[in-house]
Amino acid sequence: MFKKVGENGTVEYSRRYTSLDHPGIFTETAGSKQLSFEDGSNGLVFGSDGEKIIIQYVDQNNDPESDNDGVHLKLYIWDPVENSIAYIGDRPFVSGYFAAETAFIVEEGVVKQWDYQTGTGTPLFDTGIRTKVSLSALPDCLAVCDIYEYQDLTDGVIPKVTIRFYDWDYAPLGECELSFDKEMIRYGDYIFGETEDRILLVKDGSATRPDYYIEKSDFGTGDIVLHEYHYPEMDLLE
């Protein structure tokens, strides 16, 4: 993110990137050229789809009579190789996994496939959960996690959260529970990533490295064991 003071005294933002092949040479992104960034928090990277980057752009038409007070969450896909950008569609104000062609969301405990063209979700299965949850989609499974927000917490009580796993036929694979020894900084998304054999988990949604992992081989056994993640350098120190 670069910013400068324009001729009229306002701060102007632009986004630039550099490649690993030519580090230090910064090029203005296609999104920066086509979209208006009135502040530095808009147009942030939202995810990826293969080698392309998904960008979320908050568009506000200031119409109080429209849904969400005129705020629209628009998704674009940016190709850093070609430095081109294309509009994907609007996303709803719910948790989910959003790719270029389709998306999966969870709404009032029902997992749906989102259609960008029609702006509607087709129900896939009902988790039966009516509290707040988030959804993560991985190649081998779907994960539905409890969400706690600051106002939901009782003073001095740190909640436990349950992560429920489903296969892509929507059959339950089992669940695991995370306990916390301190207040979480950010709530709701505890899936950090995956390897071929494991799902990596975090206690803090803003963490930069995993805290735990589970083995995919535990799916369907009725006993998903939570393992503490040890880093190679920690093993060397021991």
Host domain of residue 87: 1-91
Residues 138 and 232 in one domain: yes
Q: Does 139 lie in the same domain as 63?
A: no
pLDDT above 80 for 14? no
Query: Is the residue at 18 inside a domain?
Result: yes
How many structural domains comprise the chain? 2
> Mean pLDDT across the stretch 77-104?
91
Same domain, 77 and 153: no
The answer to which of 13-17, 46-50, 176-180, 206-210 has the lowest mean pLDDT is 13-17
Task: Compare 237 and 69 and report the one with higher pLDDT.
Answer: 69
CA 47 to chain CA centroid, nearest Å: 7
Query: Are 86 and 138 found together in one domain?
Result: no
State if pTM tops 0.85. no
The residue from 36, 58, 91 where one domain ends is: 91
Q: How confident is the model at residue 168 (pLDDT cuts 50, 70, 90)?
A: very high
**DSSP alpha helix (H) spans, 118-238:** 232-237
**158 and 75 together in one domain:** no
Q: What average pLDDT does range 108-124 have in this prediction?
A: 95
- Domain assignment of residue 191, yes or no: yes
Decide if pLDDT at 170 tops 70.
Answer: yes
Domain assignment present for 201 = yes
Q: Please indicate, yes or no, whether residues 237 and 145 belong to a single structural domain of this protein.
A: yes
Q: Are residues 84 and 175 in the same domain?
A: no
- Show which of 40, 62, 91 is a domain's final residue: 91
Model confidence at 226, pLDDT cuts 50, 70, 90, reads very high
Would you say residue 192 lies in a domain? yes
Residues 204, 147 within the same domain: yes
pLDDT at 39 over 60: no
Cβ burial of 68 (10 Å; 0-12, 13-18, 19+) is: exposed
- If asked whether residues 217 and 158 sit together in one domain, one would say yes
Check residue 6 and give its pLDDT. 66
DSSP assignment, residue 39? S
Could you tell me if residue 178 is inside a domain? Answer: yes
